[in-house]
Structure 1
């Protein structure tokens, strides 16, 4: 199976002076789940090459077995440093897509034309779509082939308003993931802050926060196995 992972290229947190990017654990946990299951993983981003890592995600409190594995994985580091440009990606080449979070996707993946077209094509082909935390930004404006919002009528989750408040970002983010998914017709569900919570509803697989990233990856792999 060929799985595409799409990361953000955005590092500025609005005009706050803070930096952001992608959250390392939300990349590393699915990346190794996919590889260890025998899948081929391709990495892409809007600008290509090295996507920015949110420095906060590199703190000791957020290190896991997967992030430590990546820290010692020269091959994976080289792959991350040379992501493909999203505009050059064809949905025909992949069996599924996964969007890690970090606040970066809020700024460059919500309206990204290549990403939105890719999601429509993958969904039309019956291929699963996974996203975790702020990676849900990519799904908010995505449509099915007939123009219906991709998340409409589906149970979904993502980074919650209460979690956004807990990290002091409520006034920094361009919008609320929780509220925008609901506006798009998604049936937003959530667990306690920082709990592992993932939902699979048809072809759409979503996770609430960093603790949920491996669970989303596992659901996506299960969906691919069912497709055969």
Structure 2
């Protein structure tokens, strides 16, 4: 039985971006373990369980009545209780200003290597999207170390929506080059970004637009030999450039899960480009 690790934000995930791949992989007989930055239970963003919500960039509803009900049922369940605490699982990289930096850096690297051994029981990692990842996943060193571990192990790394930004910033410490350099990825294109209304769970704050245009970050991260594929005007955008599987946004959630199953079961290496 295959085992997957799903990373969720404590500041709000988009309901379908968890439901889609979760339903798909569980149907395939896989088991899923959840993790968050500090072990707090993740919650769905309110618009993602509101079938009357009109997505501003698309100008239409993006949550079906059926999906809204599924997300509400998941929220009412205990399924997401007690996720793995990444701040306890993985060590924190020390500041270079530390008076014992060399010893601390050695201990940090040894700790990451121990965790990498433990991760061999998992077959893939998936980063669930939504606005929450902007806060506690995208620039989270421990999330980067998880991604790098799966990358070094040659296992699939899956990301959706703003979770794809985590891939852009996952870099080996010394080279500083993104692991998606030279790869094909999809993600939130400029045309799909909010102009206002970017919000988070547990924080009474409307950021307005997203703090960064993900398309620009991804275009730079893949470099001249890679490609950002936004597929604007197409209802589905999901890309496989092994070991990476990326989904653009909400509508791509089930397809992203289906591609992960194809990668694990049939050895799929390329799709969508």
Are 1:4 and 2:41 matched, yes or no? no
Aligned partner of residue 200 in structure 1, secondary structure: strand
- Mapping for residues 147-186 of structure 1, pairs under 5 Å: 147=175, 148-165=177-194, 169=198, 171-185=208-222, 186=226
Counterpart Cα distance in 1 of 2:124 and 2:168 = 18
Q: Which of 110, 124, 129 matches 1:101?
A: 129
How does the TM-score come out when normalised to structure 2?
A: 0.72
Choose from 44, 52, 67 the match for 1:53: 44
- The 1:73–1:8 alpha-carbon spacing in structure 2 relative to 1, beyond 3 Å, is closer
The one of 247, 260, 263 equivalent to 1:223 is 263
In 2: Cα distance, 1:49 partner to 1:171 partner: 26
Select 1:206's aligned residue among 246, 251, 261: 246
Give the drift of 1:60: 1.5
Deviation at 1:57, TM superposition (A): 0.7
- The DSSP-based 3-state class of the residue aligned with 2:126 is strand
Q: 1:173 to 1:123 in 2, by over 3 A?
A: same
Q: Which runs of 5+ in 1 are unaligned?
A: 11-20
Q: TM-score, normalised by structure 1?
A: 0.85
Residue in 2 that maps onto 1:15: none
Partner Cα separation in structure 2 for residue 167 and residue 188 of structure 1: 24
Aligned residues: 217
Q: Indicate conservation of the 8 Å contact 1:190/1:197, yes or no.
A: yes
Q: Matched residue of 1:140: which SS?
A: helix
Structure 2: distance between partners of 1:211 and 1:42: 23
Q: Could you tell me which residue of structure 2 aligns to residue 187 of structure 1?
A: 227
What runs of 5+ residues in structure 2 fail to find an aligned partner? 53-62, 91-114, 199-206, 268-273
CA root-mean-square deviation: 2.5
For the pair shown, the structure with the greater C-alpha radius of gyration is 2
- Equivalences for residues 103-142 of structure 1 within 5 A: 103-142=131-170
SS in 1 for 2:32: strand
Q: Which runs of 4+ in 1 moved over 6 A?
A: none
Structure 2 residue matching 1:173: 3-state secondary structure: coil
Counterpart-to-counterpart distance in 2, 1:172 and 1:99: 22
Q: How many angstroms apart in 1 are the aligned matches of 2:138 and 2:253? A: 20
